[in-house]
Structure 1
Amino acid sequence: MKKTVHYFCFGVDDHTKQNLYYFPSAQPKIQYIIDTLKNNEYMVNMVSSCSIKNNGFFKSKIYKVDNNEKHVFFSSFKTPLKVLNKISIFMTFVQFIFYMLFCVKKNDIVLIYHSLYYIRPMELLKKLKKVRYILEVEELYSFLDDNTEVFMDQEIEFINYGSAYLLVNDLIDEKISRREKKAVISYGNYSVPPKISCRNFEYHDYINVVYAGVIENRRKAAFIAIESAKHLNEKYCIHILGFGEKSDIINLKKRINEINKELSEERIIFHGTKSGDEYSCFLQSCDVALSTHSYDKKDLPAADYSFPSKIITYMANGLKVVSSDVRSVRYSKIGRNITFYEKNTPEDIAKSIESLEYVSQVDSREKINELDKQFKKNLKNLIDEF
């Protein structure tokens, strides 16, 4: 009989993504985990803790995807009053505990996507039932954000209580007390899309450089990427794909226009967001991709407790990657496949881009396929022995 894995996370599907608040960047990894579990012949119940996006009430829903996959969504509501919204959070805690008590059977597997959200309900649940779970650690939040630093001790305690781990990089072991508990590592979504011919791509006369990801001022990734255009020769064109706050996108577009005027030609282009085949098609039409998050000395150690998953997406689409020199990437299994720049300046980024050998036949897809096969094997062994 197939084992059932209850995957507690912040996933959405086509039925719910219009109504629930979620992080687009987290969805590919969540779906990849689900697909990997099904590939290993487990039944998967994705139990989502996403809450309603706008004012109103969202009624709990259950969708059967196929014979091996089911999606469960908790009820939530939102009002203009913050006090009432706290009641909604408590209501989702109760639903989580109820599900764990009455829907998770003795031999079922519990996989929890690590979030500060789960700390409180798990503290309550532990008083009612002994729970063993695999914890998927994508980030250590209290190390990444000053606003969550007060939760550091609670977060570490919650992580240490896990019975086994799915870790996002090779360095998190340095911070958690894993002892003899087993762990497997996945840097991101290892799904390799098919090669797609992009007929409408208009920039074949250039060496095309792309940044794809969040646009925000704190770590300035997209902003420093466009500044590098001033230090590249006329053979290069920089493309920005991404999402973010409206004010940040307005500022980015303004700066792009200013730089293009300085260069007397359009060498930086903002394309907005793309997804699915359109996204893969665009990436595969480019030559090199950028991971240019900027860390000051205070924030740099925090980069050890996450992984820029965009690098995996870039490599899965056959791109060469230029990245800031963060330990989580350099000491990963793909570190040798990345071109790092030392100084976090537009000049140094441009030098690294120009140093690449563009006629190389090395296909980064092969490395991602290798990681995919190994991860599927390791995850199956972890669950079978759990």
Structure 2
Amino acid sequence: MKGQKIKYIGFYCPPDSPIKRSCSLAAVTKMTYIIQALKNAGADVEIVSPAWITEKPTVKQLSSKNDKKIVYPPSIYTSSRILRHILMWFSLLWLFFYLIFHIKKDDFVIVYHSMYLVRIITWLKKLKKFDLILEVEEIYSDVSHYSRLKTKREFDLFKLADKYLFSTELLNIKLNKENKPFAINYGTYQVEDICETPLNDGRIHVVYAGTFGLHKGAKTAVLAGQFLDERYHLHILGFGSKDETECILSLINEVSTKTSARITYDGCLRGDEYKKFIQRCHIGLSTQIPDAKFNDTSFPSKVLSYLSNGLRVVSVKIPVLTASRINDLLYYYEDSTPQSIADTIKSIDLSSSFSSRERLRELDEDFISTIQEWIRKS
């Protein structure tokens, strides 16, 4: 088992890379965890990333973290929209030919699902007959208005996979009709080191951390502050467009005049600053809009972020959470109203026992064991 070679394909660059490329922070975070889990399972991981350069680099060499092997396409920075489009297509073409020459039949290949890669991976799978493990975070045709043809292509790729890494149990029910081998990974199971303790200033500190987008629940979180009392301090962390941020700041000022609770916007924090800040809080809020279509299959990453830092979580009640192995750790509100959210916050007994970190360690161990079993059988 030791040293099994695995190719991991997806839009990736290390978080500490000085050269910025076309990859999302959420995907990078998830892939970084999977890479480490694969290594812990005894694998030798090569990352093949078609991500092209998106910002003018300040250094010539890429940095590498934790000895990850990463292969990138040749790329340059350009501010021209036309050239950026050409660069995108060149990167995808490079990926196709790189894999044609570097993948053999029965190779162990993990692909982070992306609509950019659907046709390439479909063609390669049919040509090279490799062992395809498809990592599915969400069904993109569920959340975007793709044509019927694009939707069909996405589902055709799902059927071609030999194994799956799903982000929720519901994705397995929906896509794995042939009961192929699968593993569930909600997100990053890394338990954060304890670097702060919850504040003991006579208030209960509640935090919303996330984007200010329409369906992400920041507005609802702020409005819940109207129904909290002087025992509570509601912190808003996050980011959005200029208009979204101004809207949240204005709403904080408005609600603050109607409540004895304290409500503050504490900026957009990342890394150690973020970790230290939320560890000083007691309760995290996951208040996204419940009828948003992505909630059917997409796991809310902020829930794991709160749990990994030891917070209790007040959350919207959605199927991906109630079907999960962390269901019993969460405090659900029944109605998606500010009053119901505030009532749920006030119902939490902070003196009761709570062990979110231990649960995440169990999930991490189980996930690595599944990968090890797959490697043994490959």
Q: CA deviation at 1:110?
A: 0.9
Q: CA deviation at 1:220?
A: 4.1
In structure 1, the partner of 2:50 is 49
SS in 2 for 1:28: helix
Q: CA deviation at 1:273?
A: 2.1
Give, in whole Å, the separation in 2 of the partners of 1:6 and 1:308: 27
In structure 2, the partner of 1:157 is 156
Kept in 2: contact 1:63–1:71 (CA 8 A): no
Which of 310, 326, 329 is residue 334 of structure 1 equivalent to? Answer: 326
Q: Does 2:371 align with 1:372?
A: no
Q: Deviations over 1:152-206 (max 9, x none)?
A: 22211111111101110111122214414200001110010111126xx877331
> How do 1:145-224 and structure 2 match up within 5 A?
145-146=144-145, 151-197=150-196, 204-217=201-214, 219-224=215-220
In structure 1, the partner of 2:271 is 276
In structure 1, the partner of 2:11 is 10
Which of 337, 352, 366 is residue 344 of structure 2 equivalent to? Answer: 352
SS in 1 for 2:178: coil
Q: Does 2:240 align with 1:239?
A: no
**Gap regions ≥5 residues in structure 2:** none
Kept in 1: contact 2:6–2:109 (CA 8 A): yes
Q: Counterpart amino acid of 2:308?
A: A
Kept in 1: contact 2:235–2:263 (CA 8 A): yes
Give, in whole Å, the separation in 1 of the partners of 2:6 and 2:156: 24
Q: CA deviation at 1:247?
A: 2.2
Kept in 2: contact 1:61–1:73 (CA 8 A): no
Pair 126,359 (structure 1): closer, same or farther in 2 beyond 3 Å: closer
Give, in whole Å, the separation in 2 of the partners of 1:15 and 1:223: 32
Q: CA deviation at 1:135?
A: 0.7
Kept in 1: contact 2:18–2:59 (CA 8 A): no
Q: Deviations over 1:71-100 (max 9, x none)?
A: 222234565655543322221122111221
Q: CA deviation at 1:15?
A: 5.7
Q: CA deviation at 1:106?
A: 5.0
User: After the TM superposition, which of the residue ranges 239-248 and 201-210 deviates more from structure 2?
Assistant: 201-210
Q: Deviations over 1:5-45 (max 9, x none)?
A: 11112222256355223322332221111111111121111
Q: CA deviation at 1:59?
A: 12
Q: Counterpart amino acid of 1:2?
A: G
Give, in whole Å, the separation in 2 of the partners of 1:227 and 1:143: 29
Aligned residues: 377
Kept in 1: contact 2:210–2:216 (CA 8 A): no
Q: CA deviation at 1:225?
A: 0.4
Kept in 2: contact 1:21–1:51 (CA 8 A): yes
Q: CA deviation at 1:121?
A: 1.7
User: After the TM superposition, which of the residue ranges 91-100 and 43-52 deviates more from structure 2?
Assistant: 43-52
Q: Counterpart amino acid of 1:8?
A: I
Pair 129,23 (structure 1): closer, same or farther in 2 beyond 3 Å: same
Pair 332,17 (structure 1): closer, same or farther in 2 beyond 3 Å: farther
In structure 1, the partner of 2:93 is 94
Pair 37,155 (structure 1): closer, same or farther in 2 beyond 3 Å: same
Q: Counterpart amino acid of 2:375?
A: I
Which of 343, 358, 375 is residue 383 of structure 1 equivalent to? Answer: 375
Q: CA deviation at 1:362?
A: 1.7
Q: Counterpart amino acid of 2:343?
A: K
Give, in whole Å, the separation in 1 of the partners of 2:15 and 2:220: 35
Kept in 2: contact 1:2–1:41 (CA 8 A): yes
SS in 1 for 2:7: strand
Give, in whole Å, the separation in 1 of the partners of 2:285 and 2:370: 30
SS in 1 for 2:257: helix
Give, in whole Å, the separation in 2 of the partners of 1:156 and 1:3: 29
Give, in whole Å, the separation in 1 of the partners of 2:104 and 2:50: 20
Q: CA deviation at 1:306?
A: 0.9
Q: Does 2:255 align with 1:259?
A: yes
Q: Counterpart amino acid of 1:207?
A: I
Give, in whole Å, the separation in 1 of the partners of 2:161 and 2:244: 38
Give, in whole Å, the separation in 2 of the partners of 1:315 and 1:353: 16
Identity of aligned residues (%): 33
In structure 1, the partner of 2:355 is 363
Kept in 2: contact 1:329–1:335 (CA 8 A): yes
Q: CA deviation at 1:58?
A: 11
Q: CA deviation at 1:57?
A: 9.3
In structure 1, the partner of 2:69 is 70
SS in 1 for 2:206: strand
Pair 251,322 (structure 1): closer, same or farther in 2 beyond 3 Å: same
TM-score (norm 2): 0.91
Kept in 2: contact 1:307–1:328 (CA 8 A): yes
In structure 1, the partner of 2:120 is 121
Q: Deviations over 1:324-374 (max 9, x none)?
A: 110000111111111111111101101111111111122211111111111
Give, in whole Å, the separation in 1 of the partners of 2:290 and 2:218: 13
Q: Deviations over 1:105-144 (max 9, x none)?
A: 5564211101111012224434643333111111111112
SS in 2 for 1:6: strand
